[in-house]
Amino acid sequence: MKQYLLSVDSGGTYIKAAIYDKQGHRIGITHLHNQVLEPFPGRAEYDQSALWQTNCDCIKCVMEKTHIPADQIACIGIAGQGCGFYSIDKDGNNIRNAISSSDTRALKQSAELEERGINKTAFPYIYRNSTPGSLNSILIWLKENEPENYDRIDKLFSMKDFLVYRMTHNAVSGYGCQSASGLMNLNTGKFCPRLGELFGIPEMISKFGPLKWDHELCGTLTEDAAKSCALKAGIPVSAGAHDVTAAVLAMNACDPDVCFMITGTHGINGYIASEPILNETVKNNEYFAFPGKYLIEEGYPSSTATLEWVISLLFPGDSGDSSELYDRINREVESVDPGDSNLIFLPFLRGNRDNSRAAGTWIGLRNEHSRPHFLAAVYEGVVFTHMLQMEHIFKNREKPRKIRMAGGATNSGIWMHIFADTFNIPLEIVPNEEMGAKGAAIIAAVSVHMYPDFKAAVNSMTRTGETVYPRKEYTDIYRKKLERFKTIVASLDPCWEIFS
C-alpha cells in the first residue's frame, strides 16, 4: 500500500515541497525562493514557466533528500495563493507573466467599481468588495491596457489550479480560490454571466475549467510532468486549496469556537462558519475546503514579514547565524518595559486594510529612544494591526475562548506574550512547521480515502503545542497603547494622499 503524501505549497516568497506519512509526521521538506518580478512600483508578477520549474525542482529536492521511492507516493496535494491572475492560450502556452494577489496595478479599476456602485450591486452575489488583487479587477485592467493579451485568454486559473494543470493537463477551477474571483455567484456556486456583464468582462465567464472541491481528484501526473519532477506518471493529484484554507486545516482551527491568526507575509485572521457575514463589516467571505462552510477572513501584508525589512535597516550587513540574530532581537525587545515607551510603529509598508496608500513609519521619536525601542514598537505595531483586523470579526461573533496561532511570530516567546496581553485571550500555539504544506497533505489524504472525511484526517494528522496566557500586569498597558495606535492610524489617514 502506498503510504506517503507529497504536498506543495506555493507561497509569495517561498515554494515548499514536503512529504508526510498518514499520521501527519513530516518526513522531509525543501524550500526554494519564488522570484517575484517587480517591473514597476506596486506591481508583482511571476514568470509562469519559472514558477512551474521551481515547483518541479522543489519536488525533486525533497524526493532526493528523503529517499522515498516515487512509487510510494499515494497522492499529490497543492496549496497556493487565492487571488491573482494565471492563464494560458488555446495552445496551452503562457500568455504573459502571472499577476500576484499583492499586485496593485488595478487600484484605479477597483476604486471605480466602488465609485460607480458596482461593488454594492455585486456584493449580494460575491460576498465581498473587489480589490486590486481580485481576478475581476485584474481582468478589467488587462482589457483596458493589454487588449491583445486579454483576447488570447483561453483558460483562467488560480495559482494552485495552474499547477494542477501543469501536473495533469486538466484545466479545473477550485471552488475555494475561485469563490474569491468576483465572478462566481456564491448563492449558486456557479460562475455567473450576470457578473461578467456587470464588470464589463462577459467573455471571461466561459474561461474556467470544471469546478472542484479541494479533496476531489483532478487526474494523474502526466509522463512529462513526472519527468520534470523526478516522479512516476500516474500519481493522483488532488484539486488542492487556497493556502489559507490549507493552513487552517493544518492548525485544526475548523471549530467555530476557535479563531485563528497566521503571522507571515500577510497577517491572516479569521474563523470557519456555517454562514457568511453579509453586513460588509468583514472583507472576505469565501468557500472553505468542503461544502457548507465559509472562511471568514481579514488579512493584509502587514505582519511579521515586516521584521525582515526592519532587520535590513537596523542590522545592515549582519552575516551572523539567523537564529542568533532573532534571539538578540527578542532579548532587546524584552529589555524594554512596555509601560515606559510611547514609540509607535505603523507596519503599513504596503498600505493598510482600509487605505492602500497608507505607509509605514515610527512616530514619537525622542532622544532617549534606542534600537530596542524601535524593535519593541515593531513587535507591538504588528500585534496591534492584527487586533484592528480581528476587531471587525469580533463585531459579528462572541470573542473566542482561545485563538490558535501559527507563523513566524510563534518562534518568539516575547512576541506571543504581547499578542496574548493585547487580545486578553489565551493563545494556543501550533507547533512550528509549514502550515500550507501540511494542509495540502491533509487534503491529499482525504482525496485517496486514507481517511473518510476531513474531520478524521485533521484530528489524526495535526497537533497543538503550548498555551500562552495573558499577563494581568500588562493587559491594561497594552489596551491603552492599542487605543493610542488606533488614534494615530485614524489621524494620519487623510495625510497619505499627499504621498500618492
Q: 499 with 401: CB under 8 angstroms?
A: no
How confident is the model at residue 464, as a pLDDT?
A: 84
**Residue 321: per-residue pLDDT:** 62
What pLDDT is stored for residue 186 in this prediction? 98
**Cβ proximity of 214 and 443 under 8 Å:** yes
For the residues 115-120, what does the mean pLDDT come to? 96
Residue 304: pLDDT above 90? no
pLDDT of 28 above 70: yes
Q: Where are the beta strands (DSSP E) in 92-216?
A: 98-99, 155-157, 173-174, 184-185, 190-191, 211-212
Q: List 18's β-bridge partners, or say none.
A: 7, 29
Question: How many angstroms separate the CA atoms of 155 and 135, rounded?
Answer: 13
Average pLDDT on 451-465 reads 95
If you average pLDDT over residues 254-260, what whole number do you get? 91
Does residue 282 register a pLDDT over 80?
Answer: yes
Q: Write the CA distances from 17 to 9, 210, 240, 437, integer angstroms.
A: 6, 26, 14, 7
**Which of 84-93, 295-304, 489-498 shows the highest mean pLDDT?**
84-93
pLDDT (tens digit per residue) in 174-183:
999 999 999 9
Cβ-based neighbours of 439, under 8 Å, separated by 6 or more: 7, 79, 241, 243, 245, 246, 247, 248, 249, 250
Q: pLDDT value at position 165?
A: 98
* pLDDT over 60 (residue 81): yes
Q: How many CB atoms lie within 10 A of CB 480?
A: 12
Residue 320 has a pLDDT of 56
How high does pLDDT run on average in the chain?
94
Q: What is the pLDDT of residue 159?
A: 97
**Percentage of residues of the chain with pLDDT beyond 90:** 86
Structure confidence at residue 149 as a pLDDT band (50, 70, 90): very high
Q: pLDDT category, 220, cuts 50, 70, 90?
A: very high
For cell 506555493, name the residue. 10
pLDDT for position 363: 96
- For residues 54 and 62, is the Cβ–Cβ distance under 8 A? no
The mean per-residue pLDDT over the stretch 51-72 comes to 97
Q: Delineate the domains of the chain, giving CATH numbers in brackets.
A: 4-244 (3.30.420.40), 253-429+470-500 (3.30.420.40)
**How distant is the alpha carbon of residue 395 from its chain centre?**
23
pLDDT at position 264 is 82
- Given a cut of 70, is residue 319 above it in pLDDT? no
By DSSP bridging, strand 294-300 and strand 284-287 are antiparallel
Report how far residue 305's alpha carbon sits from residue 309's, in angstroms, rounded to the nearest whole number.
7
Say whether 55 sits in a helix, a strand or coil.
helix
- Residue 496 pLDDT exceeds 60: yes
Q: What average pLDDT does this structure show over 21-37? A: 95
Cα 226 → chain centroid: 28
Distance CA 236, CA 256 (A): 32
**Predicted local confidence at residue 83, as pLDDT:** 87
